[in-house]
Amino acid sequence: MCGIVGYIGDKDATPILLEGLRRLEYRGYESAGVAILTNGDISIAKEPGKLGELEQALTRKPISGTLGVGHTRWATHGLPNKMNAHPHTDFTGRLAMIHNGVIENYQAIKTKLQASGYEFTTETDTEALVNLISEFYQNGHTLEEAVRSALSQVEGTFGIVLISKDDPDLLIAARRGSPLVVGMGEGEFVVASDVAAIISHTKDVTYLDDNEVAVMSRNELVIKTIDNLEVNKRVEKISFDLDKIEKSGYDHFMLKEIMEQPQTIEDAMRGRLLLEEGTAHLGGIEHEIDSLLYAPKMLFSACGTSWHAALIAEYMLEEWVRTPVEVEYASEFRYRDPVIERGSVAFVISQSGETADTLAALKESKRKGAKVLALCNVVGSTIARESDAGVYLHAGPEIGVASTKAFTSQVTVCSLITLLLARMRNIGVSKGVEIVNEMKTLPGKVQSILDHHSVIKEIANEFHKSQNFLYLGRGYNFPVALEGALKLKEISYIHAEGYPAAEMKHGPIALIDENMPVVVIATKDSIYEKVITNIEEVRARRGRIIAIATEGDEEMKNHADHIIYVPATLEFLTPILTIIPLQLLAYYIAILRGCDVDQPRNLAKSVTVE
């Protein structure tokens, strides 16, 4: 979703803002713009389309200055055109502001301001807010006071950064619901919606919390609440290096992230597997072990890929820990007044840790008295900070919009939690040791699937012109079917559906003919025979089978048109292996169709609006 960068210092702001916006491109956007204070006036350049359009505009008509803001916009109010692109100025042209989030009462603000003679030129909610700030500013408030006063009247979410042509030594940022982080350099500050835009300047950062305002001059940073109370913030260090957010020789971030999975799965387990005791050690949730062990129910809320990981957690925890688990789309959970039994534990899963619906589900769970545990990838993210406890995925920055390595890390962490609780409840040391030993082999097994990527490439070659795909799986691999279908539709724009294999005959079977590729996850597990029956039902209708099967399964050759083999593992760990070929299949098909896999149309990496 929208990318935000602001700069104050002694360097030229334009290249700094553009580089920051480039690093935030992965979040998804449709237009871009900058506003720079130049010789006492605000110069603005903005263009619809990709950042390259803005860069060209700035080459044609350069602007420079040492104070400025830059933005990539993912449209919520109004078309993604030049007029609606950020930054937006107020009616007088004194202020320029960028905004991420949604101002819910913007219409009321706009109507009131119009009645006082303000004129509006865009369809955005942001323009209402910058003019509200302007009204206070013109009535004798300082810029900081004007921001705080205006924000106290605003309903909705915002991450804003603004400058004034009358305050050349001032950059102001504020947040509620949309992430903002301030990077602290020597005589300069870079504020952004994501550390990716800051890391090349400094590793010292402080994260703004909701209802906080950062007031930056070249030599000082003061953080206050909207109610004017000064806050002492912790300075934190960004824990990764620049190469983690670069393609490092790969054509796309998505491919790089798929290929990184042997390492990221290893990282998710690092220091967390105890071989002798046959269990897992998870420092982040240790103090909540009793809550987990005695919970009458566990509730999981998440969105998209993270929701698929939660479904796998449901299968794992119910099988091994025997605690009832409920999994819900965070967007549904937040509004349906869910019943949360006393003592229940609520899990939220989120790669970004900023997904608005998941954050709302977290807050609703807390409000209803549940302990909330978060599984997040982004360190210091809002969800990570607002939960009672949690486990980090340690997958490193995920830049490709389509989530890949975060998913396998999420499932790995869920299997660690399952192992930890199962060992305290139902299973003995020898079973625990067997599981630990098997988990240790997973990175190598993932590597061996990646090494055979050419088989998957050939299959992609044959099917990349298909209009529809069906993905089928059962048990632990039903969520994998959903995730495989999501990957394909996200990046190749092919219609794809994931289904529990047996459910197919209750409807989707009507779609099957000789043109329908059906991807079936059919590993040698407790329901293998049942899946074979489902495959035969597809074949009887001339559907074309692409099977994900277990190495050594020669029998599969009698059932499938194409086979991608994965190594054998324990049944509950299979999703960590079976998803890998499906990620690669989606990737190669999208490439053959000429799609922009890292920044697919209409999608945002972290969805910070409802």
Active site residue 489: no
Residue 597 found at the interface with ligand AGP (CB under 6 A):
no
Residue with smaller CB distance to ligand AGP, 279 or 606: 606
- CB of 606: closest distance to ligand AGP in angstroms? 5
Residue with tokens 């807050």: 363
Residues 137, 140, 143, 148, CA torsion sign:
negative
Residue at shortest CB range from ligand AGP: 304
In angstroms, give the least distance from the CB of 51 to ligand AGP: 20
Rule CB under 6 A: is residue 301 a binding residue for ligand AGP?
A: no
- For residue 303, the minimal CB distance to ligand AGP (Å) is 4
- Residue 387 sits in the site that holds ligand AGP (CB under 6 A): no
Question: Smaller CB distance to ligand AGP: residue 178 or 569?
Answer: 178
| Closest residue by Cα to residue 36 from 89, 91, 99 | 89
**Pairing verdict, β 189-192 and 3-8:** antiparallel
Strand runs (DSSP E) across 58-136, as ranges?
A: 67-73, 88-89, 95-100
Q: Tell me the window of 75-83, 139-147, 352-360, 423-431 that interacts with ligand AGP (CB under 6 A).
A: 352-360
Beta bridge partner(s), residue 350: 376
The angle subtended at Cα 116 by Cα 114 and Cα 122, nearest 5°, is 25
Give, as one character, the DSSP assignment of residue 270. T
Rank residues 27 and 148 by Cβ distance to ligand AGP and give the closer one.
Answer: 27
DSSP three-state, residue 425: helix
Q: Is 261 in the site for ligand AGP (CB under 6 A)?
A: no
Which residue among 110, 371, 445, 605 is the active-site one?
A: 605
Return the residue of 306, 323, 409, 569 that touches ligand AGP, per CB under 6 A: 306
CB-based contact 30:46 (threshold 8 Å): no
Contact range with ligand AGP by CB under 6 A, out of 87-95, 186-194, 399-407, 465-473: 399-407
Pick the closest to residue 416 from 265, 290, 269 (CA basis).
269
Q: What is the smallest separation between the CB atom of 361 and ligand AGP, expressed in angstroms?
A: 10
Region near ligand AGP per CB under 6 A, out of 152-160, 186-194, 345-353, 442-450 = 345-353
Q: Where are the alpha helices (DSSP H) in 203-337?
A: 253-259, 261-269, 289-293, 304-320, 330-333
- Options 46-54, 180-188, 215-223, 396-404: segment touching ligand AGP (CB under 6 A): 396-404
Pick from 304, 380, 484, 517: which binds ligand AGP (CB under 6 A)?
Answer: 304
Task: State yes or no: residue 258 binds ligand AGP (CB under 6 A).
Answer: no
Count interface residues toward ligand AGP (CB under 6 A).
16
Identify the residue among 490, 497, 525, 553 touching ligand AGP (CB under 6 A). 490
Q: Is 409 in the site for ligand AGP (CB under 6 A)?
A: no
Of residues 261, 355, 574, 599, which one binds ligand AGP by CB under 6 A?
355
Q: With respect to ligand AGP, which residue has the nearer C-beta, 43 or 157?
A: 157
Q: Given the complex with ligand AGP, which of 313 and 607 has the nearer CB atom?
A: 607
In the complex, minimum distance from the CB of residue 180 to ligand AGP, in angstroms, rounded to a whole number: 17
Please identify which residue in 89, 301, 305, 583 interacts with ligand AGP, judged by CB under 6 A: 305
Please tell me whether residue 279 binds ligand AGP under the rule CB under 6 A: no
CA dihedral of 605, 607, 608, 610, whole degrees rounded to 10: 170
Angle at 361 between CA 356 and CA 366, to 5 degrees: 125
In whole angstroms, the minimum distance from the beta carbon of 547 to ligand AGP comes to: 24
Spatial distance between the Cα atoms of 17 and 68, rounded to a whole number of angstroms: 8
Contact flag: residue 397 with ligand AGP (CB under 6 A): no
Closest Cα partner for 90 from 109, 67, 104, 72? 109
27 vs 45: CA distance, rounded Å: 21
**Coil, strand or helix at 500:** strand
| 3-class DSSP state of 255 | helix
Task: Indicate which single residue of 403, 408, 418, 534 sits in contact with ligand AGP (rule: CB under 6 A).
Answer: 403
SS3 content of the chain, % helix, strand, coil (to 5): 40, 25, 35
Of the two residues 379 and 603, which places its CB atom closer to ligand AGP in the complex?
Answer: 603
Of 414, 549, 573, 607, which one interacts with ligand AGP (CB under 6 A)? 607
Query: Can 247 be counted among the known catalytic residues?
Result: no
SS3 of 516-533: CEEEEEECCCCCHHHHHH
Cis check: omega of the bond before 87, within 30 degrees of 0: yes
Applying CB under 6 A, does 43 fall inside the site for ligand AGP?
no
Binding region for ligand AGP (CB under 6 A) out of 348-356, 385-393, 510-518, 590-598: 348-356
Q: How far is the CB of 121 from ligand AGP (least distance, A)?
A: 32
Between CA 594 and CA 301 the distance in angstroms is 34
At a CB cut-off of 8 Å and minimum separation 6, what does 67 contact? 7, 8, 13, 36, 37, 163, 168, 169, 170, 171
What's the number of CA atoms in the CB half-sphere (13 Å) around residue 63? 28
- Tell me how far apart the 2 most distant CA atoms of the chain are, in Å: 81
Q: Does 351 bind ligand AGP (CB under 6 A)?
A: yes
239, 253, 252, 208: which is closest to 377 by C-alpha?
A: 239
- In the set 2, 303, 376, 595, the catalytic residue is 2
- Rounded to a whole number of angstroms, the minimum distance from the CB of residue 375 to ligand AGP is 9
The contact set with ligand AGP (CB under 6 A) reads: 303-306, 350-352, 355, 358, 401-403, 490, 603, 606-607
Question: Which amino acids are annotated catalytic?
Answer: 2, 605
